[in-house]
């Protein structure tokens, strides 16, 4: 019998690539209660609104208020600043439960977390005291503005500039595709403060407040899915921002943005898992009720095969997501890989599961009398934002092979 290697050697995979630090997860009583409570809230109060939110493509302020009233928007914020102090898994459980009913509504919590993460990661105590209590209570909303027309996947190519003038910074430029940018009270804006050849030391992060002269949202996009989540262009016409609104140090912006995405991508994976679960349940219900050839279509093995694959894909994505949350929360040095992997797998699962759900419903899947066509349109965005699936693969491959940042 060949010897079993017990000592790591240079050509063996690292612990990270073999399943992480060994940190396991099991949902705690509190997490289970949270998941069930949010699911009930979503079933009773959000699901009945989902089709209308999609049809009218307007931001659902009533759902925002509902999530605020039930402290769901407080989950990402520390208790000392008025938040609930939920960990990453708790936030993702809530996003998943809401997205199962309505992906637009799940994104309200995901974006509140995304926008606040630069402050959570690099904000001063003063900044947290100043902004977190209102954000945690859902009295205010915050957005995250990195993307520009010429800076999508290549985030370091940002052209919006911030120039120091006395005690202030003057911001000039335009951001594109900013979720909830037009309805937010605060926006974490990434602007160039150095020179282009500094690349990853070129950006800084600022909090721009609604009402600051020169800051406006000239347009909102017309979209395929998540139609109630407004996607805004933001214009900064010499916006004067006080120095105390700089988040972290000058030049730290790119690093803050990347650390933010490492923690926020699981939220998009959670949205994807929620969408897939919603579609699976709708298709299963339909397969029980719809009769063709004198019996329920669920009795046909080809339909059963599709449902089984949908269930396995959804559950597989969910387990990877929960594991990734646990690894990231435990401070894994491989956080970027876990975060990218769970979004990659969950986004692809959501796309496939929702497409198959439409197939299970046949022609009825294609019309808006049933929710699966909306879910299929909503699923697509999870393969695109917070880094496309191609970018997630690059992140995972870089973790395996090494390479430039």
The residues that are catalytic are 386
Round to whole Å and give the CA distance between 398 and 46: 40
Residue 267 as a binder of ligand FAD (CB under 6 A): the answer is no
* CA 342/CA 317 separation, integer angstroms: 7
Task: Out of 386, 395, 396, 399, name the contact with ligand FAD by CB under 6 A.
Answer: 386
Q: Identify which of residues 147 and 217 has a Cβ nearer to ligand FAD in the complex.
A: 147
236 interacts with ligand FAD by CB under 6 A: no
Task: Decide: helix, strand or coil at residue 241.
Answer: strand
21 class by beta-carbon count within 10 Å (0-12 exposed, 13-18 middle, 19+ buried): middle
- Tell me which residue of 109, 141, 140 sits closest to 266, measured CA to CA: 109
The verdict on 81 binding ligand FAD (CB under 6 A) reads no
In angstroms, the CA 228 to CA 149 distance is 22
Q: Return the closest-CA partner of residue 23 out of 329, 326, 359, 366.
A: 326
57 binds ligand FAD (CB under 6 A): no
Q: Which of 381, 382, 395, 399 binds ligand FAD (CB under 6 A)?
A: 381
Angle between helices 103-122 and 372-381 (to 10 degrees): 20
Assess 254 for contact with ligand FAD (CB under 6 A): no
Task: Please answer whether residues 343 and 386 qualify as being in contact, where contact means their C-beta atoms are separated by less than 8 angstroms.
Answer: yes
Distance CA 234, CA 359 (A): 39
- Does residue 146 belong to the site contacting ligand FAD (CB under 6 A)? yes
- What is the footprint of ligand FAD within residues 204-233 (CB under 6 A)? 223, 231
Query: At a CB cut-off of 8 Å and minimum separation 6, what does 273 contact?
Result: 96, 99, 314, 317, 318, 321, 346, 349, 350
107/313 with CB nearer ligand FAD: 107
In the bound complex, what is the minimum distance in angstroms from residue 80's beta carbon to ligand FAD? 27
Binding mask 170-209 for ligand FAD (x = CB under 6 A): -------xxx------------------------------
Least distance in angstroms from the C-beta of 228 to ligand FAD = 11
Distance between CA 15 and CA 398 in Å, rounded?
A: 16
For the record, the structure tokens of 195 come out as 């020179």
Which residue of this chain has its Cβ atom nearest to ligand FAD in the complex?
152
Q: CB-wise, 177 or 206, nearer to ligand FAD?
A: 177
User: Quick one: 355 or 388, whose CB is closer to ligand FAD?
Assistant: 388
- Residue from the set 145, 280, 321, 353 that interacts with ligand FAD by CB under 6 A: 145
Q: Which of 106, 118, 298, 387 binds ligand FAD (CB under 6 A)?
A: 387
Nearest approach, Cβ of residue 232 and ligand FAD (Å): 9
Shortest Å distance, C-beta 309 to ligand FAD: 25
388 belongs to the binding site for ligand FAD (CB under 6 A): yes
Which ranges constitute the DSSP H helices of 250-300?
A: 253-289
How many residues bind ligand FAD, per CB under 6 A? 21
Interface residue with ligand FAD, options 157, 235, 258, 384 (CB under 6 A)? 384
Q: Which positions from 122 through 141 interact with ligand FAD, judged by CB under 6 A?
A: none
Under the criterion CB under 6 A, does residue 147 sit at the interface with ligand FAD? yes
Give the residue among 193, 187, 186, 182 at the shortest CA–CA distance from 159: 193
Q: Which CB sits closer to ligand FAD, 319 or 388?
A: 388
Q: How far is the CB of 15 from ligand FAD (least distance, A)?
A: 28
Closest CB to ligand FAD among residues 254, 385: 385
Please tell me the total number of residues recorded for the chain in this structure.
405
- Surface-to-core class of residue 316, CB atoms within 10 Å of its CB (0-12 exposed, 13-18 middle, 19+ buried): middle
Rg of the Cα atoms in the chain: 22
**Nearest alpha carbon to residue 136 among 119, 115, 112:** 112
Residue (of 125, 39, 115, 31) closest to 78 by Cα position? 125
Smallest gap from Cβ 394 to ligand FAD, in A, equals: 6
**Which C-beta is closer to ligand FAD: that of 239 or that of 391?**
391
- Where does this chain bind ligand FAD (CB under 6 A)? 143-147, 152-153, 177-179, 223, 231, 381, 384-388, 390-391, 394
């Amino acid at each position: 019998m060949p010897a079993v290697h017990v000592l790591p050697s240079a050509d063996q995979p690292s612990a990270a690539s073999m399943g992480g630090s060994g940190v396991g997860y099991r949902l705690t009583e509190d997490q289970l209660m949270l998941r069930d409570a949010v699911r009930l809230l979503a079933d009773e109060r959000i699901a009945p609104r989902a089709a209308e939110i999609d049809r009218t493509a307007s931001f659902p302020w009533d759902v925002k208020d509902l999530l605020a009233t039930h402290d769901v928007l407080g989950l990402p914020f520390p208790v000392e600043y008025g938040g609930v102090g939920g960990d990453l898994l708790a936030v993702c459980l809530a996003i998943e439960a809401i997205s199962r009913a309505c992906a637009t509504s799940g994104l309200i919590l995901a974006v509140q977390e995304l926008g606040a993460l630069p402050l959570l990661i690099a904000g001063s105590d003063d900044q947290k005291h100043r902004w977190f209590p209102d954000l945690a209570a859902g009295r205010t909303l915050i957005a995250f503005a990195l993307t520009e027309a010429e800076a999508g996947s290549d985030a370091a190519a940002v052209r919006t500039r911030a120039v120091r003038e006395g005690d202030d910074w003057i911001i000039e430029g335009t951001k594109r595709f900013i979720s909830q940018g037009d309805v937010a009270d605060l926006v974490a804006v990434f602007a160039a403060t150095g020179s282009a050849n500094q690349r990853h030391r070129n950006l800084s992060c600022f909090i721009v407040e609604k009402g600051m002269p020169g800051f406006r949202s000239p347009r909102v996009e017309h979209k395929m899915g998540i139609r109630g989540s407004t996607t805004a262009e933001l214009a900064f016409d010499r916006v004067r921002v006080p120095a105390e609104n700089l988040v972290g140090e000058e030049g730290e912006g790119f690093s803050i943005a990347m650390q933010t995405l490492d923690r926020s991508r699981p939220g998009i994976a959670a949205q994807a898992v929620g969408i897939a679960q919603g579609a699976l349940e709708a298709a299963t219900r339909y397969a029980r009720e719809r009769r063709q050839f004198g019996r329920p279509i669920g009795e046909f093995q080809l339909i059963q095969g599709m449902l089984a694959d949908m269930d396995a894909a959804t559950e597989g994505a969910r387990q990877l997501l929960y594991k990734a949350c646990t690894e990231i929360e435990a401070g894994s040095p491989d956080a970027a890989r876990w975060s990218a992997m769970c979004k990659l797998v969950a986004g692809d699962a959501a796309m496939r599961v929702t497409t198959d759900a439409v197939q299970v419903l046949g022609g009825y899947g294609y019309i808006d009398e049933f929710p699966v066509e909306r879910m299929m349109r909503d699923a697509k965005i999870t393969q695109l934002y917070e880094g496309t699936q191609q970018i997630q693969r690059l992140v995972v491959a870089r973790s395996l092979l090494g390479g430039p940042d």
